[in-house]
Structure 1
Amino acid sequence: MRDAAYGGPGAMAPPEGLLASAKFSEVFVWVKNLRKMRAFYHETLGLPIAYENERFVELRTGGVPIALHSGRKAVGRSKPHWFLEFVVRDLDATIRMLRARGVTCERVREEPFGRISSFVDPEGNVIGLEESSR
């Protein structure tokens, strides 16, 4: 059943920009093997740890933090269904550093907005890299 405030006949429309002023706080990634994923994101990718406990690791980025959580299963899908993307200044240098740490990156593609590549974490989640042309 749809929310009566925004759903049925004669219902009011959602306010414009309903969440536009809300702070996007972090991205949760539900993981099977926290130790392995912590090592990949912290040691391989170099993301600093802001906080951790036995079921949770919060990693700092240049923007929204990434929270690795092993306390419950991902809801609704068996395959990864999200995409993280990091904007980098030098895509080629970033790829060289990742490859030196054993990460396999996809070939670089030219797009109207810049150059992109991607790689996967140990549990198959896709992580994108973008060097913006803007």
Structure 2
Amino acid sequence: MQTTVDAATAFALLVSGAAKIGGATTAAAVTSLAPAAVLSLGMLARAMTMAQAIAAQVSATYVSQQDALAARDRLLVALDALEADMTAAVNAGSPIFVSGLYGAVRDVRAALVADISVRLGRLCARTFRSVRWRSHMGRETHAR
């Protein structure tokens, strides 16, 4: 029985969870009597979830350049969504000061792009899968 979750799976789950937090927050804010408070809470919940996703991404291993680029793109989209939450909270009158968080998101974005760029050089451009077939003489053969 497996008792751990690999970093790539944790990353995917956390990014998905962060997106769901954002959607639920936006929906709740529309009907709330205190939308700034709802948006602030949602922003903070997404930020904490994203912090864990970023930690998982740093530990993830990738089998190909496409894998690494897809993970980078998912994280960049999630960071864009976090920034949108921050802007919505501020525009709604949130009393939380987010200038430091904006700077942290900018720094994480730059570090992520640098990290993935370094990893890309060590990864193959394509993922190959082993294929079995029987030759015309009945022998099993493997190909990549």
Q: Which has the higher helix share?
A: 2
Higher RCO (Cα < 8 Å, 6 or more apart) = 2
Q: Which has the higher strand share?
A: 1
TM-score, normalisation: structure 1: 0.17
Q: Which of the pair has more CA radius of gyration?
A: 2
TM-score, normalisation: structure 2: 0.16
